[in-house]
């Protein structure tokens, strides 16, 4: 599958989402990466079996004005800037980024890169 995107930006988005999945998944958890062609865009999904995100926090993850940073499963600290940068990079490509999560049951981060 080929897409037209800035390689460095796309790599940073994937690295950040995978890094977050690792940070918030307990030892022996599962992380998956899936890529699909929807006909209009390339859809990326990075999912984990981690601790999940409370609904009130999930709605704030992509906003710089609110600090939604949390400690990871091994007490790793974050700045809360990574997801904001991911959103900026995906928006620059005219794509969309979002999260679906249930606290205690893992998270799935999705983003699209349009095909044209």
Overall pTM > 0.95: no
Grade residue 13 by pLDDT with cuts at 50, 70 and 90.
very high
Characterize 33-62 residue by residue with b for buried, 16 or more Cβ atoms within 10 angstroms of its Cβ, and e for exposed.
eeeeeeeebbbbebbbbbbbbeeebbeebb
What pLDDT is recorded for position 7? 95
Q: Which CATH architecture group holds 7-114?
A: 2-Layer Sandwich (3.30)
Angle, nearest 10°, between helix axes 82-92 and 7-23? 150
Grade residue 31 by pLDDT with cuts at 50, 70 and 90.
very high
Which is higher by pLDDT, 108 or 63? 108
Q: How much of the chain, in percent, has pLDDT values that exceed 90?
A: 63
Where does the chain show beta strands of DSSP type E? Answer: 31-37, 41-48, 97-101, 107-114
């Amino acid at each position: 599958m080929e897409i037209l995107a800035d390689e460095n930006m796309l790599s940073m988005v994937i690295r950040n989402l995978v890094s977050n999945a690792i940070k918030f998944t307990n030892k022996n958890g599962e992380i998956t990466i899936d890529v699909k062609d929807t006909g209009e865009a390339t859809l990326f999904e990075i999912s984990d079996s981690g601790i999940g995100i409370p609904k009130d926090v999930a709605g704030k993850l992509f906003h710089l004005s609110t600090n939604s940073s949390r400690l990871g499963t091994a007490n790793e600290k974050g700045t809360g800037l990574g997801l904001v940068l991911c959103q900026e990079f995906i928006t620059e490509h005219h794509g969309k980024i979002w999260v679906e999560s249930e606290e205690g049951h893992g998270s799935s981060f999705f983003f699209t890169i349009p095909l044209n």
